Amino acid sequence: MTVMPPDRLLLDRAPTPIGEALLVTDAAGRLRALDWSDYEPRLRRLLRRHYGALPLSVGRAPESIRRALDRYFADDLDALDAIPCATGGTDFQRTVWAALRTIPAGRTLSYGALAAQIGAPKAVRAVGLANGANPIGVVVPCHRVIGADGSLTGYGGGLERKSWLLAHEGASLRTAA
């Protein structure tokens, strides 16, 4: 499935309990990226990789997206499910990102289990790379993917944020030996 590139992108900033979120939306009101202000250079590189030299203008994200994020951080953990998203990326990446949205809040999945879920049980490393390239943090919950031993593994927004998000969602984690 080919995703049409947007004509323009808008960048908004929203306060959260774990830092200022950067929200990138398209003219149709779909979330294209969510990252953190302390990682803005990475966000801009990712947008160039996915959309080329498309201009990024300052603009307000749709109120529905801002309200859903506020509700999520105020403990309505399912509020993010209704946020419309669109991404660039390869077909495989988009398959992984779609599977991430099926992991319920408060639950975690290993990279191997995620690979099996999408019908590619031997593609654990590729799933890990796709998970790490996810442009829409929190809403496409890559933070819910952990190591096979139950340990926290990398997160583009930092392990402190990953740990906070999982604790906020009530996920129980084992401590790796």
Q: Which residues are catalytic?
A: 142
Strands (E), the chain: 9-16, 19-26, 31-36, 56-58, 109-110, 145-146
Determine if residue 29 is left, alpha or beta; phi over 0 gives left, psi from -120 to 50 gives alpha, anything else beta.
left
- Distance, CA of 138 to CA of 135 (rounded, Å): 10
How many Cβ atoms from other residues are within 10 Å of residue 90's Cβ? 11
3-state helix, strand, coil split of the chain in percent (to 5) is: 40, 20, 45
Distance CA 58, CA 13 (A): 9
Take residue 13 and report the two structure tokens written for it.
């900033």
